[in-house]
Chain A
Amino acid sequence: MFEKTRKIIKYPRLTQDSPKRPVNTDHIIGKPVIDNALCDCCSECITRCPSGAIYRDESTKTVEINYNECVFCMLCEEVCPLGAIRMTKEIYLAERNLEEIGEELRRKINKIFGRSLNIREVDSGSCNGCDYEINALNNPFVDIERFGIHFVASPRHADMLLVTGTAVRNMEEALLKTYNATPEPKLVVAVGACACSGGIFKDTYASGNGIKGVVPVDVFIPGCPPRPQAILHGILKAISLP
């Protein structure tokens, strides 16, 4: 008992105050960006990108990166002969799916969820990297419960589904059933490149191209896997908290 109390006194608070204060980005590797002034469209990065995230935009005649597909492997930075691609420290990449939900409706939903949001996590065929990062939301450093956000055991108790994985053949039905078991109104957040687009696993005989083909998605969180802070940012974005 004495030992235990000693530990509690020694480590009173470990939680980082993100997103209010930015996290230390000294070592972080974030999204790659292309400097179009340097790029001569040699397409070396396009052919070698393992997840096919880099494409040539014919309308603007530039090379672009689809962050929903990017696996953040840094190969493009390495192979670019002109040094036009570099990795930044930007990790907050969550984007709202604008097609899915009207502004008015969202405001209403967010009012209902207020400061109590219950989340059910569904792995629809990930490598388990994203799942470990979602688990990390509960660790003392991120501590998602301080926002009134809880992970619950059943979709019937949930307001939000946090889905990882590519929606593989064997999980499609389970994902749909989980979605249907979640009471309205509900939000769906896709976590990681696999859930956003299929990532590196797209187009095999057993894997799907992201979860948007199975359930409607409100927010996409790119990354392979996204850092816990990036996932937290995406969840807060879905309920319009800063």
Chain B
Amino acid sequence: MDRLKDKIFEVFSQSIINCNINNKNELCLEVDPDKIVGICTYINTTLDLPLVSMFASDERSLIGRYGVYYVFSQRDEGNLLILKTGVDSTKMEIQSISATVPGAATYEREIKDLFGIDSMGHPDPKRLVFHSNWPSGEFPLRKEFEAGYKPRLAKEDIRFTKVEGEGVYEIPVGPVHAGIIEPGHFRFSVAGEPIINLEAQLYFVHKGIEKMCEGQSIEKCLYVAERISGDETFTNALAYCQAIEKIAEVKVPERARYSRVVFAELERLTSHLGDLGGICLDTGYGFATFQFRMMRGWAYAVADELCGMRFLRSVCRPGGLRKDFVAGKERRILEQLEKIRAELTDTIHIIRANSMFIDRVENTGILDHKIAKDLNAVGPGGRAAGMDCDIRRDFPYEAYGQLEFSVPVYQYGDVNCRMNVKIEEAFQSIDLMQKAIELMPFGEVFEPIPPLAPYRFAFGLTEAPRGENIHFVMTGEENTIFRYKIRTPSFCNWPALCHAVKGNIVPDFPLINKSFNLSYAGNDL
């Protein structure tokens, strides 16, 4: 932490207005808005720290200006570096850092849509969150915007990127797809079979979660956090709870920390089994699909037995867990996990021996390491393309620090690599659950949270099944939320997916999409 601070002060001591350390590992620097491009470029390229989140916050009632936060992650030492600049409400613009920090492009577009803060020099400043039906000049995350106000339906002009040339045509797909999945619109530019360009128009399921949480009680927002993305219920709730626990400076009892590992890994196992089944389904491999669906059904049965909820809802809460879910069920769960492990081993053996299947997944949907790095691709998608990152190892939370596991990293970035990462992680999830249940001490599972001090913030970080998950919570008066910024792994990986499909044939798109298995709801919020 100190070394990082010194390195930045060496070069930019003139531009730093204020510096403090928050929650032990969050280095917060307030910097001069005119120097932001230089500082961010230095941090991203010279210090090699990825931009993991970027958002604005309407702090006119506190500091008289909007605040824009740039969050960088020092993964090898487990620190977050937060740069904050102020934006005058008369000026409403920031310098775009997208030219040198490519991952910032989507964040800057999001900030423009939600706050109306322009990014000067942005290479592609078109709308991200809102579609053509949203009138210009309405910015929902400004504090004066009423949460329930629904602006009139407008007809603004939004264009897709146009690829021109002989024989080039477009295939529009969605928002309602052929499978049972969430809505999104994909615009393929194609010549013959190979895809030249894919533009994904998302935010069809934008519900306004961040605005909705503002001013609501800490208690209610937990239930909203659980419903950010259905199959990532526990991990989102956990990230939210961690942020609240950091603000309250409450230490969660050991037993709850181990139990949380069990639930988080169970969610990962369920998700990965579903993904593996999906990959098999999209290659037309029916037998394997149903094997994985069967195992996924068993994983759900474990969840049912633990807490009565297939999606692990109402399990976590700030300060620990709702009740001691694991007590008395250890043996039964371990038995079930052994059964899943044996079946998974057999099935993996069968599918890996099928050359036709391997032929489909190999060399399909290659995500280049350089692109993965630039866009901060996370989770299995990133790890398959050489991104060695895992929040469980880099920012050990709950009991992960005391448990042994390895992080699978592949270099080639194709569907096969992503599949292998998921297979290895599924086995490790079973191991981790078994270890956590064995090592779990007896005791309490809940520590009450006292009323929270207003206008304090903290980050909650978890490794969701899809990757790095970062929640920023800032408290308001009387135990409410002032600002809640959710950055799920899907937000980082959607742009990466659009690059991974280039050069592939259109029929392989569902396979590539499934190998990433991104959440629309988690991206759109």
Contacts and interface: CB of A to CB of B under 8 A. Distances in A.
Contacts of A128: 182, 229-231, 519-522
Contacts of B149: 205
A47 to B, nearest CB: 10
Given A126-B182, A132-B230, A171 B204 contact: yes
A133 B209 CA distance: 22
B401 interface: no
B350 A168 contact: no
24 contacts: A3-B346, A3-B349, A7-B347, A29-B308, A50-B220, A50-B223, A120-B176, A123-B181, A126-B230, A127-B227, A127-B228, A127-B230, A127-B521, A129-B231, A138-B293, A168-B207, A171-B204, A174-B183, A200-B223, A201-B224, A203-B148, A206-B140, A206-B150, A224-B227
Nearest to A130: B230
A121 B224 CA distance: 24
Interface residues on A, range: 35 or more
B313 A73 contact: yes
Interface of A: 3-4, 7-8, 11, 14, 27-29, 48, 50-51, 71-75, 78, 120-136, 138-141, 151, 153-155, 165-166, 168-171, 173-174, 178, 200-201, 203-207, 224-225, 227
B224 A27 contact: no
B180 A134 contact: yes
A141 B297 contact: yes
Contact of B207 (A71, A74, A130, A207): A207
A4 B350 contact: yes
Nearest to B323: A78
Nearest to A50: B223
Nearest to B212: A204
B304 A140 contact: no
Interface of B: 131, 133-134, 140, 145-151, 175-176, 178-183, 203-209, 211-212, 219-220, 223-224, 227-231, 233, 274, 287, 290-291, 293-294, 296-297, 300, 304-305, 307-311, 313-314, 322, 346-347, 349-350, 353, 519-522
Contacts of A74: 314, 322
Contact of A205 (B205, B208, B290, B346): B208
A139 B296 contact: yes
Given A48-B219, A139-B294, A140-B293, A131 B314 contact: no
A125 B205 contact: yes
A125 B228 CA distance: 11
Contacts of A173: 133
B224 A205 contact: no
Nearest to A87: B308
B207 A204 contact: yes
B169 to A, nearest CB: 21
Given A170-B203, A201-B212, A4 B231 contact: no
B161 to A, nearest CB: 20
B175 A174 contact: yes
B205 A168 contact: yes
Contacts of B205: 123-126, 165, 168, 170-171
Contacts of A135: 180
Contacts of A133: 310
Contacts of A48: 219-220
A227 B300 CA distance: 11
A168 B291 contact: no
Nearest to A199: B227
A203 B310 CA distance: 27
B180 A205 contact: no
Nearest to B185: A174
Contacts of B180: 121, 131, 134-135, 138, 151
A21 B22 CA distance: 57
B147 A204 contact: yes
Contacts of A139: 290, 293-294, 296-297
A140 B294 contact: yes
Contacts of A227: 310
A206 B131 contact: no
A225 B230 contact: yes
Considering residues A72, A126, A134, A173, which has the most beta carbons from chain B within 10 angstroms of its beta carbon?
Answer: A126
A205 B211 contact: yes
Nearest to B292: A139
Contacts of A171: 175, 183, 204-205
Contacts of B208: 204-207
Considering residues A120, A128, A130, A170, which has the most beta carbons from chain B within 10 angstroms of its beta carbon?
Answer: A170
B227 A200 contact: yes
